[in-house]
Amino acid sequence: MCGIVGIFDIRGLNEIDRSLLSRMNESQFHRGPDEGGLHTEPGLGFGHRRLSIIDLSSGQQPMHSQDGNVVLTYNGEVYNFPELRLELEALGYGFRTHCDTEVILYAWQAWGDSCVERLRGMFAFAIWDRAKQTLFLARDRLGVKPLFYAELPNGHFIFGSELKALTQHPLLPKDPDPTAIEDYFSFGYIPDPKTIYRSVYKLEPGYCLAIKRGDANFRPKQYWDVTFKPITSAHATDVGEELISRLREAVKIRMVADVPLGAFLSGGVDSSGVVALMAGLSADPVNTCSISFGDPKFNESEFAARVAERYHTSHRVEQVDPDDFSLIDRLSGLYDEPYADSSALPTYRVCELAKKQVTVVLSGDGGDENLAGYRRYRWHTYEERMRSVLPDALRVPLFSTLGKVYPKLDWAPKILRAKTTLESIGRDSMAGYFHSVSVLPNAMRAELFSERLKRDLQGYQAVEVFHRYRETAPDDPLSMVQYLDLKTYLVGDILTKVDRASMAHALEVRVPLLDHKLVEWMATLPPDLKLKGREGKYIFKKALEPYLPYDVLYRPKMGFSVPLSAWFRGPLKQRVQDTLLGGTLQNTGWFDRNYLQHIVSQHQSGLRDYSAAIWSLLMFEAFARNNLA
């Protein structure tokens, strides 16, 4: 796992500032503290920071082909590189190392752009082909590894693994994108391909980008997408056995490393399943780690301990201070743009713990999106039934009115908190799902934003992020929201969180449930094998029954939560007041002060739970204070 950067002169062969390239590279030192390297030539500069995982003694980057025509800087792991190496050797290519980096280099020479279709793993890389005068960038299919890029006013194209590398460049325009602000306060993150800056983009998962010198007309090209077309008609038992077999293979190829390896073990279904399969593949005890919380409402460590005991893992657990909010300022520096998932706090801590024992860990991320584990999927299918029963002419006005008049009962039992559901049913399927996942709903954003920001938005609404996928999203209601989450929430929130938190500790995280071959196969499973009645991940849980205790499989989902609501009424009460009502947010000109006052007073009085909105504003303020001053 590494960090990459680059500068490319699209127009000509102007000299690249090597000291600037070095500053960009060193801004990502944490991603690769083992080694660093630079390559410059007229009109091109590549940088690389290395975290050594395989072939520790060689594989330094940027790497050159033996004929000197091709240069590569690469972040990630390609798990099928031994098979690809055999193919390339049969074609006449000779190898000087035993690492996957050199395989990508010659895969490009052998197969060109289509080389990415042969790679199985997580990756973001840039190749310079001197003979073709072409820069080629690619990102893995699910977006496990990040890649940012921008075209500068002087005709230079820059890229990097993190946004902070690009902001080192003095010519990068840093004008915030108003539509990204709308997206952020809707989703809690800024979905691909946008960033907070108008001039900077994320290369989307499953996309590549080729730029030929002298041709400024370039655009990303999609090379992969997942297709939800259920074709599996086998008995559930057979499907479950095949699921375990396919996952076991995905786990096995991710256990190859020349450094200590382990796994996150939260006590949930996905991580426990991964650990169970790892234990069956390893002659030595698996290294596992988890964190615990003092509050039993948030604590899964008991279940993690049971799995660790069953499989005799070398288990480490540490308790997180229930008031562990010292990381708030640190987080804004990690993510480089506004990011509002508060579970980044415990994720940072579990990565910190894992690094004490290992350099590579396997995680269970991706199970909820692929196998329908989120509770919101169940609610969406309920809402879809209501939409299918009532004609739009009756449903829309009826439920829109009910949603408006029904009170917001944050303090009441869940069964009485129906306002969001009523409002969602009053919308079409895609807009309804957008409403259910929004951190701040439409009406709240309308009150929060100033008139100036509303003018700058020119009518744009964040639901358009979902509308981009109308043509490619499947018709089945459950498959549709799974597809939307794979395109937005998984990459923009979950994988971003894990990448930055792990790389802050120079820890590599591998994700077997996001193996693209496994993802493609899971997309063919009938929806009722994923969500059966009230049971999400139905077929996965059934298949894991021989491997895990019943209450690990079938207890209510907990998640990596932190007690924000209590923090904001207790130890962080004054900080909330100072931050939300202080000068930074006001100086942006984007927020209505009266509504900010309303949020603070209503939450701290206990009348409303505005913890999600407050956290989002705290993280936005930290970004603005550090980057927009």
Percent of all residues in the chain with a pLDDT value above 70, rounded to a whole number: 91
Q: Where are the domains of the chain?
A: 3-222, 236-372+480-554, 563-628
Confidence at 262, pLDDT banded by 50, 70, 90: very high
Fold that domain 3-222 belongs to in CATH: Glutamine Phosphoribosylpyrophosphate, subunit 1, domain 1 (3.60.20)
pLDDT of residue 588: 96
pTM: 0.93
pLDDT at 78 > cutoff 60: yes
pLDDT of residue 416: 42
Say how far apart CA 76 and CA 140 lie, in whole Å. 9
Q: 236-372+480-554 falls under which CATH superfamily?
A: HUPs (3.40.50.620)
pLDDT of residue 420: 64
| Position with higher pLDDT, 150 vs 567 | 150
pLDDT of residue 52: 79
Q: Which of 269-273, 427-431, 475-479 has the lowest mean pLDDT?
A: 427-431
Q: Give the single-character DSSP code of 30.
A: G
**What is the Rg, in whole angstroms, of the alpha carbon atoms belonging to the chain?**
24
- Decide if 311 contacts 275 (C-beta within 8 A): yes
Q: Is 108 exposed, middle or buried (0-12, 13-18, 19+ CB in 10 A)?
A: buried
Helix (H) or strand (E) holding 197: none
pLDDT at 87 > cutoff 50: yes
pLDDT at 408 > cutoff 60: no
Alpha-helix runs per DSSP H in 167-294:
178-187, 236-253, 269-281
pLDDT digits (tens, 9 = 90+) for 385-399: 777 666 556 555 555
Alpha-helix runs per DSSP H in 158-216:
163-166, 178-187
Sheet strand arrangement including 148-151 = 35-41, 44-50, 2-9, 156-160, 148-151, 200-202
328 beta partners: none
Number of Cβ within 10 Å of residue 245's Cβ equals 11
HEC assignment per residue over 348-396: HHHHHHHHCCCCEEECCCCHHHHHCCCHHHHHHHHHHHHHHHCCHHHHH
Alpha-helix runs per DSSP H in 153-268:
163-166, 178-187, 236-253
pLDDT digits (tens, 9 = 90+) for 536-572: 999 999 999 999 999 999 988 776 677 888 889 998 9
Confidence at 330, pLDDT banded by 50, 70, 90: confident
Confidence at 506, pLDDT banded by 50, 70, 90: very high
pLDDT of residue 417: 44
Average pLDDT over residues 494-519: 97
pLDDT of residue 215: 92
- Decide if 610 contacts 331 (C-beta within 8 A): no
Q: What is the mean pLDDT of the chain?
A: 91
Helix (H) or strand (E) holding 211: strand 207-212
Average pLDDT over residues 263-267: 94
Confidence at 296, pLDDT banded by 50, 70, 90: low
The dihedral region occupied by 226, where left means phi > 0, alpha psi between -120 and 50, and beta the remainder, is: beta
Number of Cβ within 10 Å of residue 130's Cβ equals 16
307 beta partners: none
pLDDT at 304 > cutoff 70: yes
pLDDT of residue 322: 65
pLDDT digits (tens, 9 = 90+) for 222-241: 999 999 988 767 788 999 99
Average pLDDT over residues 508-523: 98
Q: Which of 113-122, 177-186, 568-577 has the lowest mean pLDDT?
A: 568-577
Confidence at 419, pLDDT banded by 50, 70, 90: low
pLDDT of residue 389: 66
pLDDT of residue 325: 74
Say how far apart CA 352 and CA 501 lie, in whole Å. 8
pLDDT of residue 186: 98
Using DSSP's 3-state secondary structure scheme, residue 542 falls into helix
Q: Which of 381-390, 527-536, 590-599 has the lowest mean pLDDT?
A: 381-390
Q: Which are the catalytic amino acids?
A: 2
pLDDT of residue 16: 97
Q: What is the dihedral of CA 226, 228, 232, 238, to 10 degrees?
A: 70
pLDDT of residue 412: 46
pLDDT at 415 > cutoff 90: no
Written as six digits, the tokens of 152 are: 């500068």
pLDDT digits (tens, 9 = 90+) for 433-484: 999 999 999 999 999 999 999 999 999 999 999 999 999 999 999 999 999 9
pLDDT digits (tens, 9 = 90+) for 14-72: 999 999 999 999 999 999 999 899 999 999 999 999 987 766 667 789 999 999 999 99
Distances (CA, A) of 358 to 155, 231, 344, 382: 43, 40, 20, 44
pLDDT of residue 229: 87
Say how far apart CA 614 and CA 421 lie, in whole Å. 22
Q: Which of 430, 426, 429, 428 is nearest to 467 (CA)?
A: 430
pLDDT at 404 > cutoff 70: no
Confidence at 403, pLDDT banded by 50, 70, 90: low
Q: Give the single-character DSSP code of 626.
A: H
Q: Which of 215, 176, 162 is nearest to 627 (CA)?
A: 176
